[in-house]
Amino acid sequence: MEPLFAVLVGLFFTAAVYLMLSKFSIRIMLGIAILGNAVNLLLFTSGRLTREVPPIIPDGLDALPSGAANPLPQALILTAIVISFSLLAFLLVLTYRAYQDIGTDNTDEMRVAEPDEPTLPPVGY
């Protein structure tokens, strides 16, 4: 089961990098969301996938049994989901406001702060 998840993580990372290299801000935002999901799946897979032994320490033992899943990646994923959702909401609002003000989501056309022709620096100080 883990090799299948490893291939899926690779596909997620590939799609995320492809989308983040785009010049449209919506695609960049979707790439960041997919990247967050890829990292979460990577953490989940690294914690061992098993259904037989829950990650609970039984009475009389000091540590988890050897076949149990690691609970730390599961806790990290819960935190990462909240953080990635808030980041995605912020990026969505930022992209929408930029589209309202500038009228495009093309990052090449968003360079209104940069002059078309380079200006010389001031001569005297």
Map tokens 């050897």 to a residue.
Answer: 66
What pLDDT score was predicted for residue 65?
A: 74
- What size, in residues, is the chain? 125
**Tens-digit pLDDT profile for residues 91-104:** 999 999 989 988 88
**Tens-digit pLDDT profile for residues 36-75:** 999 999 988 887 666 666 677 778 888 777 777 777 888 8
Of 47, 54, 13, 43, residue with least CA distance to 31: 13
